[in-house]
Amino acid sequence: MTNPAHPAPIRRVGLVFSGGPAPGANSVISSVAVSLLDAGLEVVGFFHGYSNLESYDRDARPLVEGEHYRTLTEKDVGDQRNARGILIGTARANPGKPVKRRADLANPEKTAGLRRVLAGLTDLGIDALVSIGGDDTLKTANYLYLLQETLPADARRVRVVHVPKTIDNDYRGIDFTFGFFTAVDVMAKSLLNLRADALATSSYFVVETMGRKAGWLAYGVGIAGEANLVVAVEDVTGPLAMSETLTDAQGRTTTRARLDLGALVDRIVELIVVREQRDRKHHGTVVIAEGLGELLPESALEGLARDEHGHVALGRLDFGKLVARLVGERYAARTGRKKKVTGVQLGYEARSAAPHAFDVMLGAQLGVGAYRALVEEGLDGHMVSVSGQLDLRYVAFAELVDAETLVTDVRFIETGSDFQRLARFLETRAESSWAPGRRTEPGER
């Protein structure tokens, strides 16, 4: 189905945006829609992700124009690249949730939601779908692509291309995702405000940023916002790690690395004490990634709400406030003095911020890339990407998703990479062996 010699002509293209908002979203939507419209094609924007498509029923719940989707015009999408929010809305609906492995695609019950999506698309005459979203949305796009391989030869098909979206920047196959730099800038400015507050009040702020699986946002905010310490999921090694053994219902045991919360608290307290004794400074800021909360021992996560994809609702955990409280208590026990330590959660205020010029340009190129992938390249089952100076490239789903588990790989900050070392160079050094990538002092090897 990929780049056939004579691909079926495309007349009508659907757009779906899924997951959390990201600055630059409308640059993608506007650019792909305008490109398609200029080529004389019809463009249909589905409202609120897959939520309407996954519940489609030809007789009981048909798709209604104006309520579930809109046929977009130049007036709808023109001059919208810098607009905030998402023109067609978003949601976290997950029609492929029951699918856990490739074999499940042959199971009618587990693919019922995906089949309703395909039925809705084909009944509306959709020839191709542009999927915009995070790694879970990429999985859904891949499910739709693979599911169609199981259909009869004469069945109508919908080509699928995907545009990567996440302010977390943890996507394989692309260097930077749209919205990342805007989100970093918005949160870094907030961090600088908190830094000034800390200076005025001789206090500390523990700032929790978004970044469930990887530390790109935390590191970016820490570097740009001049934090004294940054800790993300990639740093849960050595003294910050502990082992946890779990036993499942069949009696099988597994051992995995978890965050040693006490060690993290001690690390921050050591920072405060060193800055007081060595640097004569009584204020500071610490940035931690929200994903650290998901690495707590399982007993600490029991009972917490989870989203459509099974992820712990980290916003309700309020990990930053928990760490701040424990740091204050540990500091008082160690020094006999009180220190004001405040936990702050940052993230939502950055998701729909006005996009930076770079994110507008990146989003526009990705949107145009989706058009070119479908119309010029005749592609199916590919993700649109850029490298270098916004040079377009197209990555097959098969290169991004495990062939059997159908799970996408997270792109972590590499241990000892120059980006990780940058954060280590710029933060306050409180102990010589704190983390990989630390700077080397004169005379050390």
First to last CA, the chain: 55
d(CA 396, CA 389): 21
- DSSP structure class, residue 355: P
In the numeric block, which tokens belong to residue 191?
Answer: 């961090």
**Which sign, positive or negative, has the C-alpha torsion 89, 207, 285, 419?**
negative
Burial class (CB in 10 A: 0-12, 13-18, 19+), 55: middle
Rounded Cα gap, residues 219 and 238, in angstroms:
19
Give yes or no for a contact between 112 and 52, defined as CB atoms under 8 angstroms apart. no
* Rg, C-alpha atoms of the chain: 24
Catalytic residues: 168
Alpha helix (H) residue ranges in 297-412: 298-301, 314-317, 319-335, 348-351, 357-371
Residue 179 backbone class (left: φ over 0; alpha: ψ -120 to 50; beta: rest): left
Which are the contacts of 315, defined by CB distance < 8 A and separation ≥ 6? 290, 345, 347
- For the record, the structure tokens of 112 come out as 């019922």
Whether the CA torsion 38, 41, 47, 50 is positive or negative: it is: negative
Helix residue ranges per DSSP H, 176-215: 180-201
341-345 β-sheet, strand order: 229-231, 284-289, 204-209, 341-345
Q: Report the C-alpha gap between 350 and 220 in whole angstroms.
A: 13
Hey, is 164 helix, strand or coil? Answer: strand
Contact between 367 and 28 under an 8 Å Cβ cutoff? The reply is yes
CA atoms within 13 A on the CB side of 72: 29
Cα angle, residue 50 at apex, residues 54 and 394 outer, rounded to 5°: 125
Q: Which residue has the tokens 């098909």?
A: 157
